[in-house]
Amino acid sequence: MSDVITRSQPAPVMIGGKQRLSVIDCDIHPQFGSKDEILPFLPERWQDYMKTYGGLYRQALADTLSHPRMAPDVARNDAWPPKGPPGSDLAFMREQHLDANNIDHGMLMPLNRGPANQRNLDFGAALAHAVNDWQLHYWVNPEPRLHGSIVIAHDDAKAAVVEIELRAKDKSFSQIMMPPHSIEPLGRRKYWPVYEAAQACNLPISFHVSGVNGFASTGSGSPSYYIEEHHTNVRGMQSLITSMVLEGVFEQFPQLRIVLVEGGLAWAPSLKWRLDKHWMRFRLEVPHLKRPPSEYIREHIWFTTQPLDEPDRDQDLAEILEFIGCDRVMFSTDYPHWDFDDPRFVLGKLALSDEKKEMIFSGNAKKLYNLS
Amino acid sequence: MTTSAPSTRTRHVVARAGEIKPGDRKLVEIAGRPIALFNLNGEFFAIGDKCPHEAGSLCKGKLGSFADSDEPGKYHLTHQGEVIKCPWHGWEFDIRTGQSYCDPQQVRVRSYDAGVAHGSDLLTGPFKAETYKVTVEEDYVVINL
Ligand code: FES
């Protein structure tokens, strides 16, 4: 019968059986085509530095992650373009993802070389600046559906603020990006200048799971398995919210908006219940909090869907989303990584009204990022 | 593996036997249905290409084994070279049966009856081969559907 090797393009993502659903993807990973691709974006001094010393992450083995990943380059096996690593080829990304999945807007989440992981803070700042130029050159300028994230090395808050202020004028960037695994809990005052700048520029801060801070990922050492380490992404997000709320970040910066990417969401209700309960008892310890912690979370935190929590009954997920607030949940895929979520699948799992589905797939992100 | 089909089903010629080497696979389509076809040491197996989880293309996955264990610290491999791992989230399926490892009772892909037929057999009976000119000299992979 047939000799067909290429699959036909997937059907457009439809809602209500007829209408094409507009999709905004809050998590797309662009990658360097080769490790030297970033060099021309660095000043000579840092090019030399990079060639001589490489990166110095905050752990014993320089330039490595704590655990080997699930798949080569953390990627879907089918996301390798004809040349270069997954996520490095715009034409391939357009065909396999942007066009095939109705992506009207995509938020870039460059994890490349982890500027914020660098122990040499000046190198970190130079690298962040270079990655931002690289995003414009290779991705945002040639593809208007893609939006940049301002990468910063936040442990030098002063340098980070310079970078934010420089980029915030450029509409090619829609948000600021930081790793949740930081050296100090993220509500601490050393990071406040960054939050102040974000508020002043009216840009959300997106925390995408990542960060090599030199600490074991659990409170009792390094886990044996990747599956175990992978789960610490959830705890990382919980610590981040807890610290920001309890340190009073949202009292200080009442317009600050935070996006959590790839850390799940089904745990959010229980965190809210517990924090509120503790706050009733320990309120005097944190008198700067004027409201129960859950209210700060409800107001300031946006959650993204991928990797979708998959309870047996879709109704259970819908209840959790309602509890969090469907206006605070945004769709994401994590393309081209191995735990990518397909929009058709997520749409099928949302036991919500069409109106709420549209909010999650595009409406909320449109509002947050001021997109048309 | 069969070489003949019950009369109620149609034999679909999907490939020349020689074009898929042992250990290799090919994505074929019958009536718009994508099917992943595998050559396991000369035997052919076919399963639905769409992963029941989020519809990743199984044909693009990695072939390997099931790792099994009776107690922590010990493991052994079974089904070597017979397990396809979805390229997206890594769910594993037995290419002989389409059964999944984590939930064999409920999660499976359809498995199809695939086999090799000689051109001379095919030319005598009904079969469908749109892109293959079937000749008496060659062997073909046939899926009965
Ligand atoms: S799509 Fe196959 S494992 Fe998720």
ipTM of the prediction: 0.81
With cut-offs at 50, 70 and 90, classify the pLDDT of residue B130. low
Residue B12 lies in a domain: no
- Alpha-carbon distance of A273 to A155, in angstroms, equals 32
Residue in B83, B14, B93 with CA at minimum distance from that of residue B51: B93
Residue B47 lies in a domain: yes
pLDDT digits (tens, 9 = 90+) for A229-268: 889 999 999 999 999 999 999 999 999 999 999 999 999 9
Q: Is B133 helix (H, G, I), strand (E, B) or coil?
A: coil
Confidence check: pLDDT of A77 > 50: yes
Q: Which residues lie with the beta carbon below 6 Å from any ligand 1 atom?
A: B 51, 53-56, 86, 88-91
The minimum-distance atom of ligand 1 relative to the CA of B58 is: 2
Domain limits, chain A? 21-369
With cut-offs at 50, 70 and 90, classify the pLDDT of residue A19. confident
CA angle A140, A108, A19 (to 5 degrees): 90
CA distances from residue B138 to A130, A151, A278, B141 in whole angstroms, order as listed = 59, 59, 76, 10
Residue B83 lies in a domain: yes
Starting from the edge strand earliest in sequence, which strands make up the sheet with B139-144, in order? B11-16, B139-144, B111-118, B43-48, B33-40, B25-30
Mutate to test the interface with A, among B19, B54, B103, B144 (most CBs of A within 10 A): B54
- The closest residue, in CA terms, to atom 3 on ligand 1 is B89
| Candidate from B50, B83, B88 with most ligand 1 atoms within 8 A of CB, to mutate | B88
- Predicted local distance difference test score (pLDDT) of residue A72: 84
pLDDT digits (tens, 9 = 90+) for B84-114: 999 999 999 999 999 998 888 888 999 999 9
CA A282 to chain centre: 32
Residue B30 lies in a domain: yes
pLDDT (mean) for A163-190 = 96
With cut-offs at 50, 70 and 90, classify the pLDDT of residue A4. very low
- Predicted local distance difference test score (pLDDT) of residue A66: 65
- Alpha-carbon distance of B66 to A78, in angstroms, equals 21
- Alpha-carbon distance of A351 to A175, in angstroms, equals 30
CATH of A21-369, one of 3.30.830.10, 3.20.20.140, 3.40.640.10, 1.20.1250.20: 3.20.20.140
Residue B101 lies in a domain: yes
pLDDT digits (tens, 9 = 90+) for A262-310: 999 999 999 999 999 999 999 999 999 999 999 999 999 999 999 999 9
A316 versus A218: the higher-pLDDT residue is: A316
Residue B10 lies in a domain: no
User: What is the pLDDT of chain A when averaged over all its residues?
Assistant: 93
| Candidate from B49, B50, B53, B93 with most ligand 1 atoms within 8 A of CB, to mutate | B53
Q: What's the CATH code of the domain at B105?
A: 2.102.10.10
CA distances from residue A340 to A16, A25, A30, A259, A332 in whole angstroms, order as listed = 24, 11, 14, 18, 9
With cut-offs at 50, 70 and 90, classify the pLDDT of residue A5. very low
- Domain of B55 in residue numbering reads as 17-117
Contact B55 A342 (CB under 8 A): yes
- Alpha-carbon distance of A78 to A344, in angstroms, equals 18
pLDDT digits (tens, 9 = 90+) for A93-115: 999 999 999 999 999 999 988 89
Whole-number percent of chain A with pLDDT over 90:
81
A7 versus B36: the higher-pLDDT residue is: B36
Question: How many domains is chain B built from?
Answer: 1
Residue B145 lies in a domain: no
CA B87 to chain centre: 16
Confidence check: pLDDT of B78 > 80: yes
With cut-offs at 50, 70 and 90, classify the pLDDT of residue B136. confident
Residue B127 lies in a domain: no
